[in-house]
Amino acid sequence: MQGKRKYGGWLFLAGVILAHGATALVEPDLAQQALASFVAMLGEVAPVLVLVFVLMFLVERFLTPARTRAWLGRESGLRGWLLALAAGVISTGPVYTWYALLAELRDKGMRTALVAVVLYARAIKLPLLPLVAHYFGLRYMLVLSLLIAVFSIVNGLVMERLLRQPEAE
């Protein structure tokens, strides 16, 4: 299993390059459009990836397992839930860029429930709240945001109960 994991990413990359090369031979215009689309997407994702890598570096450098357990572990209490909720709300960019950071935090002692809270709370988009309020009204925007926040916590509790994995102590 370890050998497959070790080379799987490289094999996938080689397959993609081969597929692109074959497409370039058969349909050069289509291959050029695909490459342009990839470069555009890379331009959008790269800043978020850089931010996530910087955050991962800072987490690795300053957030010890003991601190992680204190702030986001089983004994974190209300502070942990609020930190996870806030982290989910302020996180930006594609969700898959955050998976590595959350996995690293979980390895250091973050509760499974709080990982779920972060991922669920990402549905609250701060830059879009004024737009939602404009189109649907302030009351709708407030109720919707409150329900998403509440259900992110419910989701975290349900996930933790369903998984029933012992947390790292």
DSSP string, 90-142: H--S-GGGTHHHHHHHHHTT--HHHHHHHHHHTT--GGGHHHHHHHH-HHHHH
Tens digit of pLDDT for each residue in 114-132?
Answer: 999 999 999 998 888 888 9
pLDDT digits (tens, 9 = 90+) for 140-152: 999 999 999 999 9
pTM score, two decimals? 0.62
Residue 77 pLDDT level (bands cut at 50, 70, 90)? confident
* 85 vs 122: CA distance, rounded Å: 9
The predicted-structure confidence for 28-67, as pLDDT tens digits, reads as follows 999 999 899 989 988 888 887 787 788 778 877 776 777 7
Give me the residue spans of the domains in the chain.
1-45, 63-163
Q: Can you tell me the distance from the alpha carbon of 85 to that of 81, in angstroms, rounded to the nearest whole number?
A: 6
